Amino acid sequence: MSLIGVQTALGRMVRAGEHADPAQLADLDLFGDERSRMSRVLASRGFRFTARIQRSWCEARAARGARLALSILPPEQRRHLVSEWVDRGGGTNSFFLAEADGFLEFLAQRLPDPSHALSLCQFERAVLRAEAAATTSAALGGACLDDPACMLRSGRHAALVSFFADPDRLLAALEGESALPPLSTTQWPVLVAPGMPGLARPADAAELALWQALDEPSPVAVLQRQGHSRGAIESFLASGAAEPA
C-alpha cells in the first residue's frame, strides 16, 4: 500500500471526523485488501479517539484566535460558529496568527452588519494584524511628505473599525461591569495601526476624513489641497496608518 495512499486516507478521515465515510476514499488507488484494511483502521475505537482529539484541538485553536468576538455571542451561537469553521477544515493551523486571521474573517461574514459582535470581530482582527506588523516592520515614507507627487494609501496593516456604541462602554459590559449598550445610529470610529501606542485609539473627524481619502492612492499634494494637514499625514505615516502606494 503506497505511503501517500495511507496518509491521504488517514488525513482525510481525521479531518472529516464524525462525518468520515470510507466512500470518501473512492478516488484513492487502493487494492481491495488495502481498502478493507483502511476501513478496519477507520472503524476502530483508536481512530474515533484520534478524530476526537483532532476536533478538540481544532476547536480550541479557533476559539483562542477570537476570544473577544466570541465573548459577546450566546454560548450556543459561539459553539455553532466554531463548529462550522472546523467542519469546513478550519482550526488545523497551529500558528496562532494565521489561524486567528482566517477564523475572524470567516466570523465577519456570518455576523449581522451592523452589530457589536461584528465591530468586535473587525477590531480583534485589526489589532492582531497591527500587532504582528509592529514586531516585524518599521513605519515607512517620512520622506514622502516633501515630495508633492508621492502617492500615499491607507496602511496595509492598519484599519478603521466602526463601533455602534462607545467602545469603552462596550468593553466594560463584556467584562461584566454593565449591560451591553444598545446599537446606536451614531458611529464611533477607532483607528488601529502598528506604530500607534497601544495599537488603537478613537479617530477624530479629521482622521476619519483622511482615512477615507486614502482609500484610493492619492498624491500628497492632492491630500493637502483637500485640507488634510501636513501634521495629520505625518502622524498617519509614522503610525503605519498610511504608507507610500
Partner 1 sequence: MTALGIGLPYFQDLPPEIYRGGAVDFVEVTPEVLCRERRGGALDLLPDKLAAARETCGALPIVVHGVELSIGSAHGCNAAYLDLLDRFQASWPFLWHSEHLGFQTIAGGDAHSLNTGVPLPLPATREAAELVADRSAAITQRYGVPFLLENAAHYLPDLPSDPEIGDDVGLMNAIIDRGGCLQLLDLHNVWCNALNHGHDPFAAIDRMRLDRVAEIHIAGGSWHDGFWMDAHDSRVPEPVWDLLEYTLPRVPAVGGVVFEVLEEHLPRLGTDAIVDELTRARAIWQRRGPSRCDRSCH
Binding site for partner 1 (CB under 8 A): 1-4, 6-8, 10-12, 14-15, 34, 37-38, 40-41, 44-47, 49-50, 52-54, 57-58, 89, 91-98, 132, 135-136
Query: Do the Cβ atoms of 80 and 134 come closer than 8 Å?
Result: no
Sign of the torsion angle spanned by Cα atoms 39, 40, 43, 49: negative
Least distance CB 66 / partner 1 (angstroms):
17
DSSP letter string, 29-74: ---HHHHHHHHHHHHSHHHHHHHHHHHHHHHHHHHHHTHHHHHTS-
Q: Nearest distance from residue 64's CB to partner 1, in Å?
A: 10
Task: Pick between residue 49 and residue 212 the one whose CB is nearest to partner 1.
Answer: 49
Please identify, using beta-carbon distances, which residue of 10 and 171 lies nearer to partner 1.
10
Distance, CA of 87 to CA of 101 (rounded, Å): 17
Could you say which DSSP state residue 182 is in? P
**Nearest residue (CB) to partner 1, 14 versus 208:** 14
Cβ proximity to partner 1, 44 vs 226, nearer residue: 44
Alpha-helical regions (H) of the chain: 3-16, 32-43, 45-65, 67-71, 75-87, 96-110, 116-136, 167-174, 205-213, 220-225, 230-239
Closest to partner 1 by CB, 95 vs 175, is 95
Q: Give the number of other Cβ atoms within 10 Å of residue 153's Cβ.
A: 15
Nearest approach, Cβ of residue 13 and partner 1 (Å):
10
**Residue in 53, 47, 59, 60 with CA at minimum distance from that of residue 21:** 47
**Cα 188 from Cα 184, distance rounded (Å):** 10
Q: How far is the CB of 137 from partner 1 (least distance, A)?
A: 10
Closer by beta carbon to partner 1, 39 or else 224:
39
Q: What's the closest the beta carbon of residue 84 comes to partner 1, in angstroms?
A: 16
CB of 10 to partner 1, least distance (A): 5
